Structure 1
Amino acid sequence: MGMLGEFKQFAMRGNVMDLAVGVVIGAAFGKIITALVDDVIMPPIGLLIGGVDFSAWKWILRAAEPGHPEVAIAIGVFINTVIQFVI
């Protein structure tokens, strides 16, 4: 049996197929959680604490200058990512 045949036999075992299906479902579920946090959970929280858009929160280390981009820490994006992880 050649290398291709052995790989096909390996890939057709249940564990590999289950893993592949799990990865695809996990990726899709991750997108759903991202949309839930960004579009459903964070806007009301931002409204409750004064109309804050968390995704725009950042600590500016150096303002943008001609020829040099802004250097900033995107703390709001980090907060959104932490909430996504917790969910």
Structure 2
Amino acid sequence: MSSEFKEFAMRGNVVDLAVGVVIGAAFGRVVTSLVDDILMPPLGILIGGVDFKDLKLILRQGVLDAEGKVTDVTLNYGNFIQSIIDFLIIALAIFMVVKLMNRLKRRKAASPDVPPAPTKEEVLLTEIRDALRGPGRV
């Protein structure tokens, strides 16, 4: 069972998937920081100093929670707006990466590969073949 697990874990596609998940998670944190720390503060100033995370609709005030604290029941639509902006930026970034990769693949496919020069052995064999055919033979 141990050797089977090792064989499974070392397959190329499993390792590639694991690397993709780790890089994707790190990329998500970077984009979230970009949105939270760089894009949203100026946007909040432009719309009158509003922080999207503070936007909420109070459904019921003063509810006693399990810990004995009085809290409001709220609909946090500001967090939802923040998540949509995060998603759109991540989707745009992934789109740009895929577009770049497709362009590079097309360039590689469009550029014909130059066949390698024949080796000395191939040249000699070609000369021998041509000499054995004799003049006028095809």
Same fold (TM over 0.5): yes
**Offset of 1:49 from its aligned partner?**
1.0
Structure with more contact order per residue of length (Cα contacts < 8 Å, sep ≥ 6): 1
Runs (4+) off by over 4 Å: 65-68
Give the Cα–Cα distance (whole angstroms) in 2 for the partners of residues 81 and 64 of structure 1.
Answer: 27
For structure 2, the residue ranges without an aligned partner over 5 or more in a row are 90-138
**Offset of 1:64 from its aligned partner?**
2.1
- Residue identity matched to 1:70: D
Give the Cα–Cα distance (whole angstroms) in 1 for the partners of residues 15 and 80 of structure 2.
Answer: 34
**Offset of 1:45 from its aligned partner?**
0.8
Identity of paired residues, percent?
A: 61
**Offset of 1:50 from its aligned partner?**
0.7
What is the match of residue 80 of structure 1? 82
Give the Cα–Cα distance (whole angstroms) in 2 for the partners of residues 10 and 49 of structure 1.
Answer: 53
Give the Cα–Cα distance (whole angstroms) in 1 for the partners of residues 48 and 11 of structure 2.
Answer: 55
What is the match of residue 43 of structure 1? 41
Which is higher, the Rg of structure 1 or of structure 2? 2
